[in-house]
Chain A
């Protein structure tokens, strides 16, 4: 029997008992539908987190904090007047200990480190169009990590950290308020930022809008470049207070192609940091935890759909056993005519695969249809505050994998009935009433 004939006949046989096949296909449909949705949910959320990571990381920076104390000697530590300061308040980004200028210098001397900039908290009171009146002033938060990362831009360019001019990346929702028609028209325009210096005097500074950013989950507020940060931070520093920083950002010099930073570059610098009693983490390190949690949740959800599939696979076994029973004489006849056990086996196991394909393909298509609708509705409604989030992302590779996995499950369910068919004795089968 030709392979093409085996496939055609298996497909036709699957439709001989339409009601029975439909019911089995339905049970697979449930599993395929759920599995497609859960994988799409995982893909959507992970894709969003990855995008968010990309918005705040250029991949070549390490966030450096003092290493957590590993001192195991008993009793309190002796005071070291040149040592690091302790923070007056807890900071989620770092330990209680602060970095000092010695630490920054030590980092600058390390191999593979290009630049080191401390992350400084600056407070901007308002933003206004250049030369704007008092009633055109709006409150503005500055994202302290804007110096280490990129923004998810709607228009314009990323910040130039090495430029001498003050630059700003505005959040998209400030455009209207500041009198810009659209994102493109804001690029290259000046805005005025107001802040209060250490002497409680009002100050203002002009900054050029270089980019407009989409609102992001992890990078809220406006982004300003190093030059602007330095100006404001110096003005706001309390005179006489020693410099101390919660976090510093080390930009690495890559050794890869075109100066790309490789994983081993990152590891080298991390090792040197550890020797200097400092801890370096990439943004990916920090966000890896989030993704692990998401994957765990998706795993549990997928497990439920796998249980549905397991139930469906018993349905396939049952359907095919009935099919083998009904066609006993036909099997006997084909075997009497010289059909090999192997072909009989493929005929029935392929029938299972056909049922599996039908159930999974229809289930996946239904999931994509319904899921896309739900996803669109959610993005417009409850999830409108998270632009760029496609809660259900149907990756073609994932959908194909789901279909293939279910076809494999169907094939495995078909093994028992198909073996029974293949092993039938032609004489007994022909006598069977």
Chain B
């Protein structure tokens, strides 16, 4: 039951004529050369392309992890690329969740501490952090692992912890960078099921960067990036 966006509502993410250039002079490299893209609320979008195509750069710009050289990124119609740093930090903290190929779990900390990291950053009180952390772990069937060290989990469990961490602040958009890249086919499949289940059931918008065709095929829409341009499926 996908929550359909209200008619006329602005797309949750909108990129307009994004360019991103690294370096200067001889070593100047254009990672993106004018990409425009709308991401509608509640949809799942796959960004595919070969490595070096600029798909990761596009995701970083959409996720406000980086600022474009030119062009604009709008969140719900609000220009974010030129917003002050503080505002961008808050947007990332409250609206986005991140799932990376490498899990980026802090090995010595407990599963619960890893999961509640976004709440720690947001300044939520310890009691509420524990409460919400346990709720999320419960919903992903990881409640019994809460006290375990993150290092003691299997790959699939780790990626579920990462998804729990991405979910804890109830984000609008989850950015997943090669979410199954480090997992075997069976575990990867379970993680995919989990992500698409969240998209369907909670209406969370999913932006997946991958070069896995099977994963891309499960998304509502796919855009293909090559040499810093969208070559297929811009959708607008």
- Given the interface contacts A339-B89, A427-B60, does A1 sit within 8 Å of B104 by beta carbon? no
B92 is contacted by which of A330, A338, A425 (Cβ under 8 Å)? A338
Does B3 belong to the interface (CB within 8 Å)? no
- Given the interface contacts A1-B121, A337-B98, A340-B85, does A16 sit within 8 Å of B92 by beta carbon? no
Does B106 belong to the interface (CB within 8 Å)? yes
Once the chains bind, are A329 and B104 in contact (CB under 8 Å)? Answer: yes
Does A430 belong to the interface (CB within 8 Å)? yes
Once the chains bind, are A427 and B66 in contact (CB under 8 Å)? Answer: yes
Does B35 belong to the interface (CB within 8 Å)? no
Once the chains bind, are B65 and A1 in contact (CB under 8 Å)? Answer: no
Once the chains bind, are B104 and A330 in contact (CB under 8 Å)? Answer: yes
Find residues 315-374 in chain A having any chain B CB closer than 8 Å to their own CB: 329-330, 332-334, 336-341, 343
* B residues less than 8 Å from A1 (CB atoms): 120-123
Once the chains bind, are A340 and B86 in contact (CB under 8 Å)? Answer: yes
B89 is contacted by which of A16, A340, A425 (Cβ under 8 Å)? A340
A426 is contacted by which of B65, B91, B126 (Cβ under 8 Å)? B65
Find residues 53-98 in chain B having any chain A CB closer than 8 Å to their own CB: 60, 63, 65-66, 85-86, 89-94, 98
Once the chains bind, are A430 and B100 in contact (CB under 8 Å)? Answer: yes
- What sequence of 0s and 1s flags, for each residue 113-140 of chain B, a beta carbon within 8 Å of any chain A beta carbon? 0000110111101100000000000000
Q: Which residue of A lies closest to B177 (CB)?
A: A430
Once the chains bind, are B117 and A430 in contact (CB under 8 Å)? Answer: no
* B residues less than 8 Å from A329 (CB atoms): 102, 104
Does A5 belong to the interface (CB within 8 Å)? yes
Nearest Cβ on chain B to A218's Cβ, whole angstroms:
61
Once the chains bind, are B89 and A333 in contact (CB under 8 Å)? Answer: no
**Cα separation A5 to B119 with both chains bound (whole Å):** 11
* A residues less than 8 Å from B63 (CB atoms): 336
**Cα separation A329 to B86 with both chains bound (whole Å):** 21
- What sequence of 0s and 1s flags, for each residue 157-186 of chain B, a beta carbon within 8 Å of any chain A beta carbon? 000000000000000000000000000000
- Given the interface contacts A16-B108, A427-B60, does A336 sit within 8 Å of B98 by beta carbon? yes
Q: Which residue of A lies closest to B57 (CB)?
A: A427
Nearest Cβ on chain A to B63's Cβ, whole angstroms:
8
A334 is contacted by which of B60, B117, B123 (Cβ under 8 Å)? B117
**Cα separation A334 to B98 with both chains bound (whole Å):** 11
Once the chains bind, are B121 and A338 in contact (CB under 8 Å)? Answer: yes
Once the chains bind, are A338 and B89 in contact (CB under 8 Å)? Answer: yes
Once the chains bind, are A334 and B121 in contact (CB under 8 Å)? Answer: yes
**Cα separation A187 to B79 with both chains bound (whole Å):** 93
Once the chains bind, are A338 and B90 in contact (CB under 8 Å)? Answer: yes
* A residues less than 8 Å from B93 (CB atoms): 337-339
* B residues less than 8 Å from A330 (CB atoms): 104, 106
Nearest Cβ on chain B to A121's Cβ, whole angstroms:
78
Q: Which residue of B lies closest to A5 (CB)?
A: B120
* B residues less than 8 Å from A341 (CB atoms): 85
Find residues 1-55 in chain A having any chain B CB closer than 8 Å to their own CB: 1-2, 5, 9, 16
Once the chains bind, are A2 and B123 in contact (CB under 8 Å)? Answer: yes
Once the chains bind, are B118 and A337 in contact (CB under 8 Å)? Answer: yes
**Cα separation A333 to B123 with both chains bound (whole Å):** 16
A430 is contacted by which of B104, B120, B125, B126 (Cβ under 8 Å)? B104
**Cα separation A333 to B65 with both chains bound (whole Å):** 11
**Cα separation A334 to B122 with both chains bound (whole Å):** 10
Nearest Cβ on chain A to B149's Cβ, whole angstroms:
13
* A residues less than 8 Å from B85 (CB atoms): 340-341
Nearest Cβ on chain A to B127's Cβ, whole angstroms:
12
* A residues less than 8 Å from B89 (CB atoms): 338-340
**Cα separation A1 to B90 with both chains bound (whole Å):** 12
Q: Which residue of B lies closest to A16 (CB)?
A: B108
- What sequence of 0s and 1s flags, for each residue 17-50 of chain B, a beta carbon within 8 Å of any chain A beta carbon? 0000000000000000000000000000000000
Nearest Cβ on chain B to A204's Cβ, whole angstroms:
86
B65 is contacted by which of A5, A339, A340, A427 (Cβ under 8 Å)? A427
Find residues 264-293 in chain A having any chain B CB closer than 8 Å to their own CB: none
**Cα separation A5 to B113 with both chains bound (whole Å):** 12
**Cα separation A107 to B95 with both chains bound (whole Å):** 89
* A residues less than 8 Å from B90 (CB atoms): 338
Find residues 295-332 in chain A having any chain B CB closer than 8 Å to their own CB: 329-330, 332
- Given the interface contacts A2-B123, A427-B60, A430-B104, does A337 sit within 8 Å of B65 by beta carbon? no
**Cα separation A340 to B84 with both chains bound (whole Å):** 12
Once the chains bind, are A338 and B122 in contact (CB under 8 Å)? Answer: yes
Which interface residue of B85, B100, B104 has the most chain A CB atoms within 10 A?
Answer: B104
**Cα separation A219 to B126 with both chains bound (whole Å):** 66
Nearest Cβ on chain B to A264's Cβ, whole angstroms:
58
Once the chains bind, are A333 and B86 in contact (CB under 8 Å)? Answer: no
In the A-B complex, the 3 residue pairs with the closest CB atoms:
A338-B93, A338-B89, A338-B92
Q: List 18 A-B contacts (CB under 8 A).
A: A1-B120, A1-B122, A1-B123, A329-B102, A332-B104, A333-B104, A333-B117, A336-B63, A336-B92, A337-B93, A338-B90, A338-B92, A338-B94, A338-B121, A339-B89, A343-B121, A425-B66, A430-B104
Residues of chain B touching chain A, judged by Cβ–Cβ distance below 8 Å, are 60, 63, 65-66, 85-86, 89-94, 98, 100, 102, 104, 106, 108, 117-118, 120-123, 125-126
